[in-house]
Chain A
């Protein structure tokens, strides 16, 4: 009895707040998988941001005593060949994965948006040329493209981000372009033009906000695949170099070498990658469903 009264009292005081929580709760009920995904992504972001406080050890400190030590009270996920703490390396590795994921998504998104806007707005020969180049870029599988890029740019964090962002550019450009094409004929854009608004202002005031939804969908979808591609590149030895603890590199040669003696070297980083990508994909799916006009109402 009293609890209901209590909650009503609180509710009355913070109506606004409750409705916000209520909406989040509703959202979670409508998209349970998306909620799980968002939670995982939140964990990864949290680990990346607060790695220095969360990680029990320095991820680069070696220890002869802990070399290949099995998971236990000293090291929750065990130690690697060098006696470094696997858990701490996974936590710090979240930084790299996220840096590559977000970095490449932003970079690819921005470049793709600019190209898409230019194509859609100006059309003509420029559009035709860009469209053909986009065709070409899409003729190569993501990993092949990233491999060639990584090989030609050399392994480093920045280059990995560039290599992974490039395959995103044509996808974004294509979506933005088709959106612009349909938007430019709409009355409010024509009205803006009639009022004498400059092209740049029209783009920023009217067209860009209206293409945001597909951009977000593409961006969240890219996050997972960027993390996965980074891991694959690092696994093949063409990704982010040491001393950065990258998840993919943790799984490459030296871990595989001790897989029989120390299976935890393979299991935990693999779970980290899978979970992060899984979370990002779940979130991406939910965002897509949420923003899809056909699913509204």
Chain B
């Protein structure tokens, strides 16, 4: 009797506490408050379609909506995590050569004008270069090489017609880099005072000072956003801004800003901070200009790949936490990368550096180089620490095979043009990819004629393989083909990947409703579900 009573009481207490937890969880979703971020440098503009940097994308993504997007609560982006946004639903047709979206009704831009299918048509015509208004910069034009046309039928239906089959097309549209622009606002205004349909409205940007956004009270998603706004203080010195975070002046760090050595110090100073480790899908890689002798000789490029001590890069820059990979990021962080058992069979990834270097020296000697006849090269890199540091290491590793490198630091402003012009011999580069999909990676960085293919690597057989995988549906077969392509790219030394970077994203414990995405730095910043539990 007594024990029964006890049991009942226990059940009651347990269920009550469970209930309590559930109800507090439901209640805890508080609204109000301004989320304070720090930013590493003034965004070049507010127009996402014209920029290729997280400096713009991360703060401004919440001004807009896409047709579809990646589920903001899931850390790994993939075809399975794509959810509706401005499009309520979509349907493939014509054996995946066209996709039709049914659009949401009653959505308004921040200036009060209604959103219709016309805006979608305008946005992609702008990117394709078919409209009268022109973008100053158009960095993702190469993504849409396969897009033939965009057609509206009525105000709430729009169809994307493709030139050939491309099942992964939806991945591109789900990226933070693919917002829908209003038809009635000219590109110049989008750069300075962007207008979208998103949960936050742009308020002001002051160079080197701040960027501010405020809640869109008429947001189409009921009860969202929860924040009253988000504000970004621009601080160029990393030590200063990290100290600011430690001192509690900021609620969240900037995307990809907390490197592993800095994290280790930060967590000692601010043990309460929540730091999520994430692969950013940004790789550090060696670029060798195949048009500049003597580097037109494949042998010398192979020797350079062999002398790279990936473990030493990893130890110094990543405290051993960087990911060894080919071009694609491997699971669990990414989807398409070669797993370790495949990777170890790729030439140049063998962990015995001494043996690799002996082989490399043999190659160099066969080409006539030696201790008395050293090859002098300029190693170009961008003049910021995350480029400079690995470049210094690279020069040291090249020294082992009779190559004397001198660092040629190029201002951020000139870097991309310099390598795009192929005005360099050897370079150290960082490559970030917007969407974790082979289509985006291969066509942007390894395809003949692509402007971001800095090494000039171009092979007809590879182009055929790129297209073949692009036309395949996701599944083990596409995966197998992608491994095969990636292995070939590494062995050809097309753009040898030194390491895939790992960073931390840190926020204060009262920041809730946010999940750091791991396989792209560019897709997880909508902020509509974030709230402050103070």
On A, residues with C-beta under 8 Å from B are 60-62, 64, 67-68, 81-84, 155, 237, 241-243, 253-254, 256-261
Contacts and interface: CB of A to CB of B under 8 A. Distances in A.
Given A62-B396, A82-B393, A258 B261 contact: yes
B23 interface: no
A82 B265 contact: no
Interface of B: 237-239, 243, 261-262, 264-265, 269, 311-312, 315-316, 383-385, 388-389, 392-393, 395-396, 399, 405-409
A278 B82 CA distance: 64
B374 to A, nearest CB: 14
A107 to B, nearest CB: 24
A82 B391 CA distance: 10
Contacts of A61: 396, 399
B393 A62 contact: yes
28 contacts: A60-B395, A60-B396, A61-B396, A61-B399, A62-B312, A62-B316, A64-B316, A67-B316, A68-B261, A81-B316, A82-B393, A82-B396, A241-B408, A241-B409, A242-B407, A242-B409, A243-B392, A243-B395, A243-B405, A243-B407, A253-B238, A253-B384, A256-B239, A257-B239, A257-B262, A257-B385, A258-B239, A261-B261
Given A243-B405, A261-B265, 15 more contacts: A60-B395, A62-B312, A62-B396, A64-B311, A64-B315, A81-B261, A82-B396, A155-B409, A243-B406, A254-B385, A257-B262, A258-B261, A259-B239, A260-B265, A260-B269
B157 to A, nearest CB: 51
B395 A254 contact: no
A161 B14 CA distance: 77
Task: Describe B's contact surface by its main secondary structure.
Answer: helix
A253 B265 contact: no
A243 B405 CA distance: 9
A251 to B, nearest CB: 12
A19 B315 CA distance: 61
Contacts of A83: 316
Contacts of A242: 388, 392, 407, 409
A68 B317 CA distance: 11
A243 B388 CA distance: 10
A64 B315 CA distance: 6
Contacts of B261: 68, 81, 258, 261
B336 to A, nearest CB: 29
Given A61-B396, A68-B261, A257-B238, A241 B316 contact: no
B263 to A, nearest CB: 11
A266 B392 CA distance: 19
Nearest to B383: A237
Interface centre among B239, B311, B315, B405 (most CB of A within 10 A): B239
Contacts, number: 66
Nearest to A256: B239
A241 B399 CA distance: 19
Query: Shortest 10 CB-CB distances between A and B: which pairs?
Result: A242-B407, A64-B315, A62-B396, A64-B312, A254-B385, A67-B316, A256-B239, A241-B409, A261-B265, A257-B238
Question: Which secondary structure characterizes the binding site on chain A?
Answer: loop
Contacts of B393: 62, 82
Given A257-B238, A261-B261, A261-B265, A82 B315 contact: no
A260 B316 contact: no
Contacts of B399: 61
Contact of A260 (B239, B311, B388): B239
Contacts of B385: 253-254, 257
A67 B395 CA distance: 16
Contacts of B311: 64
Nearest to B396: A62
Contact of B388 (A62, A254, A259): A254
A266 B389 CA distance: 17
A157 to B, nearest CB: 12
A79 to B, nearest CB: 10
Contacts of B408: 241
A241 B409 CA distance: 7
Nearest to A67: B316
Contacts of B265: 260-261
A133 B255 CA distance: 50
A253 B237 contact: yes
A243 B383 CA distance: 12
A243 B392 CA distance: 8
Nearest to B408: A241
A241 B406 CA distance: 10
A62 B392 CA distance: 8
A155 B410 CA distance: 9
A13 to B, nearest CB: 52
A64 B322 CA distance: 14
Contacts of A82: 316, 389, 392-393, 396
Contacts of B316: 62, 64, 67, 81-83
Contacts of A259: 239
B106 to A, nearest CB: 49
A81 to B, nearest CB: 6
B409 A81 contact: no
A234 B156 CA distance: 57
A258 B399 CA distance: 27
A82 B317 CA distance: 8
A238 to B, nearest CB: 9
A257 B259 CA distance: 10
A160 B388 CA distance: 20
A155 B312 CA distance: 30
A233 to B, nearest CB: 13
A256 B392 contact: no
A259 B384 CA distance: 17
Contacts of A62: 312, 316, 392-393, 396
A252 to B, nearest CB: 9
Contact of A256 (B237, B384, B405, B409): B237
A70 to B, nearest CB: 14
B390 to A, nearest CB: 9
B125 to A, nearest CB: 39
Contacts of A155: 409
Contacts of B406: 243
A68 B409 CA distance: 23
A68 B388 CA distance: 16
Nearest to A258: B261
Contacts of B388: 242, 254
B30 to A, nearest CB: 34
A42 B367 CA distance: 46
Contacts of B238: 253, 256-257
A61 B309 CA distance: 14
A205 B196 CA distance: 78
A62 B399 CA distance: 11
A258 B315 CA distance: 16
A294 B496 CA distance: 70
A241 B405 CA distance: 13
A81 B407 contact: no
B411 to A, nearest CB: 8
A253 B264 CA distance: 18
B532 to A, nearest CB: 27
A209 to B, nearest CB: 43
A174 to B, nearest CB: 35
A254 B389 contact: yes
Contacts of A68: 261
